[in-house]
Amino acid sequence: MSEARPHTTFSKAPIDIRAATAMSRPIPKTCFIHIPKTGGQSLEQSLRHAYFRNDLEVQRYGEFMPDEYPQTDAPELHTESEFIRASPDALISDFDAIWGHTKYATVRDKLAHRAGATNLITVLRDPLELYASLYNYARKDEHHPDRERASQQSFRDFLHGQYVYPMQCEWVAGCYTASQAIKVLEKHYHAFCPLEDLDEFVILYTAWLGYESETTHHVNATGGSLRSIQSLSPADLEWFYNRAGEDYLLVQWARRTWREHCRVRLTKPVEESVPPLALGDA
């Protein structure tokens, strides 16, 4: 392994882990709220590499909804979900990096007594692109519970058959309005970004942890998703916006905040960065 070099501005040079240890500054703990269909797998992979590189214990943490992965179809996911819900706080507190399809409300309950601070991070996405991605994914995945319906329906019919609501507000903040979600993100999250800036986010955040990550070249929306969206009529778009409009407002705010604040925070070394909030303090 090549010798790590300290840095004071963003570069691909990793933070000097030994210097951080000498200053009694532990490598920050991370909790990634992975909203489905927001391109989070590339971030999960980079986090796994970053923490393993630093010889830290990494445990996957996720809550899989029973109606999404029934026990009969995916017993291993059901088992993991039961383990997570039954895990004592003492065990959870040992995890250095936690990620998965887990809602903010669940994380706060599980980590309420976690020692020290945990960096909450997340990725947000244009709401209609998210549902279009879900539709095309369901059509291709033979194990997806909605595969048969998605394969037989147009995107319009599939969309109208979904429970459309401000899903991202709920996942990242446990609420249904952008104004409330913004307050939670401002107070409790260390960093977040829109999907279109995920590549830069991965590089900046993992470099901030002391790991040199490669660009993922993530594609924001596939051709299939774009064609699905283009097939909708103005009336369909209005119907969707009336139900998911708060998510649109949240994503627009996140785009501005990423450019003006979050990315700047991640260009500073750990010892100069704004300390994240300890979840137990809220």
Angle between helices 40-53 and 198-209 (to 10 degrees): 10
pLDDT computed for residue 117 by the predictor: 72
Comparing 46 with 269, the larger pLDDT belongs to: 46
Q: Please enumerate in sequence order all residues whose Cβ is within 8 A of that of 243, keeping only pairs 6 or more positions apart, or say none.
A: 164, 165
- CATH numeric code, 17-281: 3.40.50
Comparing 33 with 250, the larger pLDDT belongs to: 250
Give the containing element (helix H, strand E) for 245: helix 234-257
Q: How far apart are CA 241 and CA 61, in angstroms?
A: 32
Q: What percent of the chain has pLDDT over 90?
A: 33
Is the separation of the CB atoms in 279 and 118 below 8 Å? Answer: yes
User: Residue 157 CA to chain centroid, in angstroms?
Assistant: 28
- 67 pLDDT exceeds 90? no
Mean local confidence (pLDDT), 41-63: 70
Band of pLDDT at residue 42, cut at 50, 70 and 90: confident
**Which of 6, 10, 2 lies closest to 18 in space, CA to CA?**
6
The domain limits of the chain are 17-281
- What is the per-residue pLDDT across 169-191, written as a single tens digit (0 to 9) for each? 999 999 999 999 999 999 889 89
189 burial (CB, 10 Å; 0-12 / 13-18 / 19+) is buried
